[in-house]
Amino acid sequence: MAKVVVVGAGFAGHYASLVLADALLGKGNHELTVISRVPKFTYIPSLVWVGVGRMKAEETQFELKPVYDKLGAKFVHGVAKEVHPDDQYVVVELPNGSTQQVNYDYLLIATGPYLNFEATPGLGPDEGYTQSICTPPHATKAAAAYLELVSRMEKGDKVKIVVGTGHGTATCQGAAFEYISNLHNDLVDRGLRDRAELLWLSNEPNLGDFGIDGLEFRYKNQIFTASEVVEFLFEKYGIKWQVESHVKQVDENRIYTININGEENEIEYDFAMLIPQFKAQPIKWFDKEGNDITEKMTNPAGFVKVDAVYGKPYDELDGPDWPRTYQNPIYKNIFAAGIAFAPPGPLSRPRQAPDGTPIAPAPPRTGYTSELSGRAAALNIVDMVEGREPSHSASMAETPGLCVASLKNDLLTGGAVTIAIYPVARNRAVYGEYGRDLDNCLAEIGLAGAWFKWMLHHAFLYKLQAKPGWKLIP
Ligand SMILES: Cc1cc2nc3c(=O)[nH]c(=O)nc-3n(C[C@H](O)[C@H](O)[C@H](O)COP(=O)(O)OP(=O)(O)OC[C@H]3O[C@@H](n4cnc5c(N)ncnc54)[C@H](O)[C@@H]3O)c2cc1C
């Protein structure tokens, strides 16, 4: 009998839990326990539409416990605070303030990002002045602020809207790109677009970098880039841009930036949605003597080390250095997936301003990548439970990335940029010059993407509730 514990029930953790439940429960008295800080699953990609006021947060969510009850898994609503890997237990803080010890034989950490608004003074909807669409409450608050702005515009006000990244090392540019495009189209539909100035503010070296070192693709024997696609779109939409920038501080009226050349700028704004830096969730690791071994188990940002090759300089980093099994090298019964695993390095080239301020996107681990790594980790745990070596691999240098970036959510007049990339992390050992298979990379704008995005929302919410036939949905 094996006790498997999953911490975090987002894209990586919840999907891994479905795979684990399917493979293990009902056989050999195995137990699966899922620990989650929040009682609901959120389909985060649709928070873009929540943030424009075109969808309610509840339409992106479902309760986790009934799903786990149905599968025979245990559910603990609480925050994992500590892991004791020698004695194999997790300390969980419950909503009433008490703590619970949850024992495990195998552990999967899938806790996603900690939204580090504190890294930028004045950033964020709780302690600062800017909006966020990273969580359901944030997206709901962003929608309210945006609709307030809309009523000002309806009365004749001209406004300045800034969207992008709020820190030199923030990631998730794709979500911000979707948000600014949806805002543009929403304002067009309301007949208010001429009353708003829209600015894209980002730490990317150029448009279309998206933290994945950009994208090249072949079309009719010519090579195009995501940068050209985004520039075309922003010009068509009348969106201005300022890239290569770190946000130093935000106050009620201005955003203070420094760029890669050390030039400082003050941007006036009426409404801003800026993605914060992502750190790992603050979980502490202790050995059997009670020593804090967090530094040994994680990288400096707190992400859990797995089977990657760490410490190589950017120019030497290549496909084989990316993790495959997501197994911790010290404690073989511990795995980490999704945003929680420590990548071997960035995808976009690290750069800094003359004063040393880092200005380069951190590597994203998108929803699809998170699912693939969660699935591989889950199947590797099943391997070990059944007495085999971990055999499942989902390296970002061997798997595709698929991102459908919404421009507008409407099945008749909507649109999306469909970005397919293979593989996500450049793998020059296999694909030579570009490190990617350009015949399997694509960035295309069209209405079909809007249908696909709508379908993904419904298909994912169906599949992740383990409804009949869920395993058939890829
Ligand atoms: C607005 C937005 C739009 C996006 N759109 C797309 C898209 O279109 N396509 C795409 O591929 N990706 C998209 N992404 C990225 C995608 O959402 C993430 O890659 C994905 O959610 C990461 O999955 P994860 O499981 O690692 O983390 P999460 O989904 O964040 O899940 C982590 C879970 O762990 C819980 N948790 C955290 N700490 C603890 C703790 N200590 N104890 C217990 N539980 C804990 C959290 O509450 C959360 O439920 C988008 C992101 C944003 C913000």
User: With 90 as the cut, is the pLDDT of residue 45 above it?
Assistant: yes
CB-based contacts of 101, cutoff 8 Å, min separation 6: 89, 90, 91, 92
Q: 11-24 vs 367-385: helix axis angle to the nearest 10?
A: 30
Amino acid letter at 203?
Answer: N
SS3 339: helix
Contact 65, 56 (CB under 8 A): no
Q: Is 370 in the pocket of ligand 1 (CB under 6 A)?
A: yes
Q: Tokens 């071997």 map to which residue?
A: 344
Report how far residue 398's alpha carbon sits from residue 423's, in angstroms, rounded to the nearest whole number.
Answer: 5
Q: 76-90: per-residue pLDDT in tens?
A: 999 999 999 999 999
Tell me the CA–centroid distance for residue 134 and ligand 1, in Å. Answer: 8
Q: Is 38 in the pocket of ligand 1 (CB under 6 A)?
A: yes
CATH number of the structural domain 3-114+278-385: 3.50.50.60
Tell me the CA–centroid distance for residue 10 and ligand 1, in Å. Answer: 5
pLDDT: which is higher, 339 or 419? 339
Q: 125-154: per-residue pLDDT in tens?
A: 999 999 999 999 999 999 999 999 999 999
Q: Is 111 in the pocket of ligand 1 (CB under 6 A)?
A: yes
Q: Is 281 in the pocket of ligand 1 (CB under 6 A)?
A: yes
Tell me the CA–centroid distance for residue 41 and ligand 1, in Å. Answer: 10
Q: Is 249 exposed, middle or buried (0-12, 13-18, 19+ CB in 10 A)?
A: middle
Q: Name the residue with the closest Cα to ligand 1, atom 27.
A: 112
Report how far residue 408's alpha carbon sits from residue 400's, in angstroms, rounded to the nearest whole number.
Answer: 25
Nearest Cα residue to 341 out of 387, 385, 372: 372
Structure tokens, 191: 């007949």
Cα-Cα-Cα-Cα dihedral sign, residues 188, 190, 195, 197: negative
Name the strand (E) or helix (H) holding 429: helix 428-431
Q: Is 168 in the pocket of ligand 1 (CB under 6 A)?
A: no
SS3 159: strand
Phi, psi (deg, nearest 5) at residue 21: -60, -45
Contact 359, 168 (CB under 8 A): yes
Q: What band does 449 get if pLDDT is binned at 50, 70 and 90?
A: confident
Q: Could you tell me which residues are beta bridge partners of residue 240?
A: 199
Q: Is 377 in the pocket of ligand 1 (CB under 6 A)?
A: no
Nearest Cα residue to 212 out of 51, 439, 453, 434: 434
Tell me the CA–centroid distance for residue 258 and ligand 1, in Å. Answer: 29
Q: Is 88 in the pocket of ligand 1 (CB under 6 A)?
A: no
pLDDT at 404: 86
Q: What band does 118 get if pLDDT is binned at 50, 70 and 90?
A: very high
Amino acid letter at 109?
Answer: I
Q: Which atom of ligand 1 is nearest to the CA of 46?
A: 3
Instruction: Give the pTM.
Output: 0.96
Q: 255-287: per-residue pLDDT in tens?
A: 999 999 999 999 999 999 999 999 999 999 999
Structure tokens, 364: 């994203």
Q: Is 133 in the pocket of ligand 1 (CB under 6 A)?
A: yes
pLDDT at 416: 86
Tell me the CA–centroid distance for residue 11 and ligand 1, in Å. Answer: 6
Report how far residue 260's alpha carbon sits from residue 70's, in angstroms, rounded to the nearest whole number.
Answer: 53
The alpha helices in 243-306, defined as continuous H runs, are: 294-297
Q: Is 385 exposed, middle or buried (0-12, 13-18, 19+ CB in 10 A)?
A: buried
Q: What band does 219 get if pLDDT is binned at 50, 70 and 90?
A: confident
Q: Which atom of ligand 1 is nearest to the CA of 14?
A: 25
Q: 174-205: per-residue pLDDT in tens?
A: 999 999 999 999 999 999 999 999 999 999 99
Q: What band does 291 get if pLDDT is binned at 50, 70 and 90?
A: very high
Report how far residue 253's alpha carbon sits from residue 372's, in angstroms, rounded to the nearest whole number.
Answer: 42
